[in-house]
Amino acid sequence: MDEQIEDLQIAGMHCAGCADELEQAVSRLHGVTEAKANFAASTLRVRYHASKIDRARLIEHVERLGYTTRRAHEETSTPKSLWKRRDVLFTGISGLLLALGLALSTLGSNPTLGVLWGRNLTLATLLYLGSVFFGAYHFARRGWQALKTFSFGISALMTLAIIGAIILGEYIEAASLAFLFALAELLEEFSVERARRSLRALMKLAPSEARVRRHGQELWVSIDQIEIGETLIVKPGERIALDGIVLSGSSSVNQAPITGESLPVEKRPGDAVFAGTINHEGYLEIKVTKRAKDTKLAKIIHLVEEAEAQRAPVEKFVDRFAKYYTPSVVAVAAGVAILPPFLWGWPFSEWFLRALTLLVIACPCALLISTPVSIISAITSAARNGVLIKGGVYLEELGQVRAIVLDKTGTLTTGELTVTDVIAFDGSSPEEVLRIAAALESKSQHPIAQAIVRYYEKNALGQALPEAQDFISLTGQGVQARIEGQLYRVGKLELFPQALPSEAVRLASQAKTVIGVGTPERLLGLIAIADRIRPEAQETVSALKRLGLDVIMITGDNEETAQAVAQQLGIARYHAGVLPEEKASEIQRLLRHYGRVAMVGDGVNDAPALAAATVGIAMGTIGADAALETAHVALMSDDLSKLPYLIELSRRTRRVIQQNIVFSIVTKLSLGLGVFPGYVTLVLAVLVGDMGASLAVTGNALRLAHIKPLRD
């Protein structure tokens, strides 16, 4: 097979209409099997047979349509200056020639140079035609290609209007149309680039080079040439170039570019670090675990690009609407040009000019750009804040969910057991109770045992544990061993002869697991263990309620534990004792009741439930590739406070899209009605109906980038 795929970065793709025109023009080439233009990322993916068309001819065809190309993600040594770009230069020349022509016409100093098409050719007319040539140079080529296939895209409609104005001898209108539309395209490109810039900023987070130790020397090497297992040297203030594990050194690392966390995270030997994050004050040596193309940052960029390429339902609706809307207006324009002169004998030139004005108004640029720019702005803004949304469809669905289901363990809680209370009886001290428990539990691998040992090591101030001898595991009950000849037990309270202490009842009511410590004859103390509730959980639940959502907790824990956690967080509805395989069924039941439900979990154990929900949201996915791949939405850090931000962002995105669509349609309709009595001219149609409307909807969409998470 000689089939190849070429990914090209396209400059000059101003709106979704341009993307469609380019896609169709390239698809018709002999040898091309598929062409897919991504307006959001400004790229074109072409699948073609190398034996029938080569890359050079492919690029030549694209550039003949008025675009400039380079390989996608290809680094340019120096970005081309704005004033050296041909489209900017030509637009400037067009505006200058139009201004000179208007000056000559106004001052009356307009000598006749000859005869053109039966009309006097004046110097001003020549300047206007020159303005048309330079202004329409880029878009007219695209328009002509579209007209040859009877495709009435934006460029085609503008090209028709300019040709018609020249035929009528309306040279000022033709020149104004060419210049203003070329200027509008540049302004649209500038506005859309602001939305795309966030994604490009993500791409630039990882350095292109890194300091590596090779053969005992420190060398600067391109990140593409660094292999897994090599050692990176990262000094204070430098960015980490690749994912890896800290070998030596300690420092705080700013992970905000990946997770959106506002505070730096302490890193020590054995900790994972990620490309694009910033080393603060320490010296780090890092063992590389991922190649440049496989880093977490690379995955994020890839997922964001894919997300922006996916079309939301409302975007598909707009595209379908535009397909019927544009031909309908073209048909109406044809009727306006033909019927009044034919039926009532009204001046043909006047009504033909009005028909051309309708054609200009018909350009659905603002309508087509209204949704994708909003989606781009929202998705890239979310990515900068550590939230990955897999596509416009999920962004739109999130704005309509009526309930949000939160898994308890690992979501509302940290998922890590910790000692919360140490209580001593009968003259014993809490320190002695903890010392005995840790000595016995150091022989066990049970999660509760490990939690007690961790707590002792953290609070014992370097005191060594006594040796536990004759260790025995009491299956399902606890452990037993001798310390300095005395037999001790640690485990369930049933191991001890005393009646249940009131403190044990109180601690159990707080969703804590109570462990007894003592001898076979008497209870020396209690240790309470709990899965700690996240600090931001209560604030997040309150914020979600204020947004009008029903908050539901789901857990495999028993009724007492679930009730205690729910009460602490102010959650009225919860489902306890739900097995992992039953969670998906529970989500299905809630979907029947609410219609749309979001589910928040750890992304691995909760995978079936996340998939069953309208939108599945995985937490803490910075270290879990599987969760990053499977969730609809991924919170890179273990920060629940991003949930209200996510809901607010999705709702506001829906509102902005609706505002943009309504504004675009009302503007077009109003201008269209104003054409018939002659209130709307060609120039006004471009200024307000095309350029003005496009800039207005783009500006409205860019406001989405200013929404910040709760904690910011």
pLDDT tens, residue by residue, 296-337: 788 777 766 666 566 666 766 776 776 777 778 778 888 888
Q: Which residue has the higher pLDDT, 644 or 362?
A: 644
Query: Cα–Cα distances in Å, from 651 out to 272, 399, 661?
Result: 35, 4, 16
What average pLDDT is seen over the chain? 82
Q: What pLDDT is recorded for position 433?
A: 92
In DSSP notation, 612-625 reads HSSEEEEE-GGG-H
Burial level of 461, CB count in 10 A (0-12/13-18/19+)?
exposed
pLDDT tens, residue by residue, 625-664? 555 666 788 888 788 888 999 999 999 999 998 998 889 8
pLDDT tens, residue by residue, 120-158? 778 888 898 999 999 888 778 777 776 676 666 677 777
Q: Which residue has the higher pLDDT, 442 or 460?
A: 442
Burial level of 216, CB count in 10 A (0-12/13-18/19+)?
exposed
Q: Which residue has the higher pLDDT, 651 or 20?
A: 651
Q: Which residue has the higher pLDDT, 706 or 539?
A: 539
Closest among 505, 564, 493, 506 to 531, alpha carbons compared? 564
3-class SS shares of the chain: helix, strand, coil, % to 5: 50, 20, 25
Q: Which of the following is catalytic: 20, 319, 407, 606?
A: 407
In angstroms, the CA 27 to CA 53 distance is: 12
Residues 6+ positions from 593 with CB-CB distance below 8 Å = none
Q: What pLDDT is recorded for position 595?
A: 92
In DSSP notation, 482-499 reads EETTEEEEEE-GGGSSSP
pLDDT, average across residues 87-116: 81
Closest among 132, 152, 58, 153 to 90, alpha carbons compared? 132
Question: Residue 544 has which token pair?
Answer: 């979600």
Q: In angstroms, what is the C-alpha Rg of the chain?
A: 34
pLDDT tens, residue by residue, 268-284? 899 889 888 888 888 89
Residues 6+ positions from 129 with CB-CB distance below 8 Å = 166, 171, 174, 175
User: What domains are defined for the chain?
Assistant: 3-79 (3.30.70.100), 86-200+306-374+655-705 (no CATH), 209-294 (2.70.150.10), 385-412+536-648 (3.40.50.1000), 414-533 (3.40.1110.10)
Residue 461 has pLDDT above 60, yes or no: no
pLDDT, average across residues 518-534: 90
Q: What pLDDT is recorded for position 623?
A: 53
Q: What pLDDT is recorded for position 599?
A: 92
Cβ distance 112 to 120 under 8 Å?
A: yes
In angstroms, the CA 279 to CA 296 distance is: 17
Q: What pLDDT is recorded for position 79?
A: 47
Question: Residue 113 has which token pair?
Answer: 């140079």
Residue 34 has pLDDT above 80, yes or no: yes
Provide, rounded to the nearest whole percent, the portion of the chain with pLDDT above 90.
18
Cross-strand pairs, 44: 8, 37
Residues 6+ positions from 452 with CB-CB distance below 8 Å = 419, 434, 437, 438, 441, 490, 515, 527, 529
Question: Residue 250 has which token pair?
Answer: 């300690």
pLDDT, average across residues 458-472: 82
In DSSP notation, 532-592 reads EEPTTHHHHHHHHHHTTPEEEEE-SS-HHHHHHHHHHHT--EEE-S--HHHHHHHHHHHHH
Q: Which residue has the higher pLDDT, 88 or 573?
A: 573
Q: What pLDDT is recorded for position 649?
A: 92
Burial level of 109, CB count in 10 A (0-12/13-18/19+)?
exposed
Residue 481 has pLDDT above 90, yes or no: yes
pLDDT tens, residue by residue, 363-393? 777 777 777 788 888 888 888 888 888 888 8
Cross-strand pairs, 483: 486
In angstroms, the CA 643 to CA 543 distance is: 9
In angstroms, the CA 639 to CA 411 distance is: 9
Model confidence at 78, pLDDT cuts 50, 70, 90, reads very low
pLDDT, average across residues 547-559: 88
In DSSP notation, 353-392 reads HHHHHHHHHH--HHHHHHHHHHHHHHHHHHHHTTEEE--H
Strands 403-407 and 550-554: parallel
pLDDT, average across residues 425-430: 86
Cβ distance 413 to 532 under 8 Å?
A: yes
Model confidence at 199, pLDDT cuts 50, 70, 90, reads low
Q: Identify whether 7 is a catalytic site residue.
A: no
Residues 6+ positions from 267 with CB-CB distance below 8 Å = 246, 250, 251, 252, 253, 273, 282, 284
Task: Specify the 3-state DSSP secondary structure of 693.
Answer: helix
Residues 6+ positions from 510 with CB-CB distance below 8 Å = 528, 530, 564
Give me the residue label for tokens 């000022």.
172
Q: What pLDDT is recorded for position 410?
A: 80
In angstroms, the CA 630 to CA 633 distance is: 9
Q: How many residues does the chain have?
A: 712
Q: Which residue has the higher pLDDT, 83 or 425?
A: 425
Q: What pLDDT is recorded for position 162?
A: 84
Model confidence at 9, pLDDT cuts 50, 70, 90, reads confident
Cross-strand pairs, 486: 483
249 alpha carbon, distance to own chain's centre: 34
Q: What pLDDT is recorded for position 12?
A: 65
Burial level of 369, CB count in 10 A (0-12/13-18/19+)?
buried
Of 196-210, 249-263, 331-345, 363-377, which range is least confident? 196-210
Residue 590 has pLDDT above 90, yes or no: yes
Closest among 527, 562, 570 to 421, alpha carbons compared? 527
In angstroms, the CA 526 to CA 510 distance is: 15
Closest among 152, 138, 128 to 20, alpha carbons compared? 152
Cβ distance 417 to 537 under 8 Å?
A: no
Residue 80 has pLDDT above 60, yes or no: no
Residues 6+ positions from 560 with CB-CB distance below 8 Å = 508, 509, 511
In this structure, which amino acid lies at residue 466? Answer: P
Q: Which residue has the higher pLDDT, 78 or 653?
A: 653
pLDDT, average across residues 571-590: 87
Provide, rounded to the nearest whole percent, the portion of the chain with pLDDT above 70.
85
In angstroms, the CA 421 to CA 530 distance is: 9
Question: Residue 108 has which token pair?
Answer: 């009356």
Strands 469-474 and 231-234: unpaired
Q: Edge-to-edge strands of the sheet including 278-279?
A: 265-267, 251-254, 278-279
Question: Residue 424 has which token pair?
Answer: 């001593």
